[in-house]
Amino acid sequence: AQTVTQSQPEMSVQEAETVTLSCTYDTSESDYYLFWYKQPPSRQMILVIRQEAYKQQNATENRFSVNFQKAAKSFSLKISDSQLGDAAMYFCAYRSPGGGADGLTFGKGTHLIIQP
């Protein structure tokens, strides 16, 4: 079974600064998908960014980018120019290939605090 580990229960960053959230995973599969989800206090799960394992290029979505190191099984999220609205729980998630039928495996999450 796959496992996802987020080693930082909580992170704090000053507004407008850059922060990196860590995620490592364990799998024997060669092809898979990785996701970062954001959960603000409203509890709604919001997709931030996704990465296909067979793509070497790191995914980017505006101020959010990932550093995907397949050999190291590492998938970190970098948030540039942090904003107050970025304050939330962030979850790293793994999905096996095959159409996505069997759901996501989540890490335990990182609570991101933005200091004004």
Partner 1 sequence: NAGVTQTPKFRVLKTGQSMTLLCAQDMNHEYMYWYRQDPGMGLRLIHYSVGEGTTAKGEVPDGYNVSRLKKQNFLLGLESAAPSQTSVYFCASTHPIAGGGNEQYFGPGTRLTVT
Residue 108 within binding range of partner 1, rule CB under 8 A: yes
Residue closer to partner 1, measured from CB, 26 or 81? 26
Residue 64 within binding range of partner 1, rule CB under 8 A: no
Residue 95 within binding range of partner 1, rule CB under 8 A: yes
DSSP string, 37-68: EEE-TT---EEEEEEETT--SPPEETTEEEEE
Distance, in Å, from the CA atom of 18 to the CA atom of 11, rounded to the nearest integer, reads 12
Residue 97 within binding range of partner 1, rule CB under 8 A: yes
Interface contacts to partner 1, rule CB under 8 A: 4, 6, 9, 31-33, 35, 42-45, 47, 50, 52, 91, 95-109
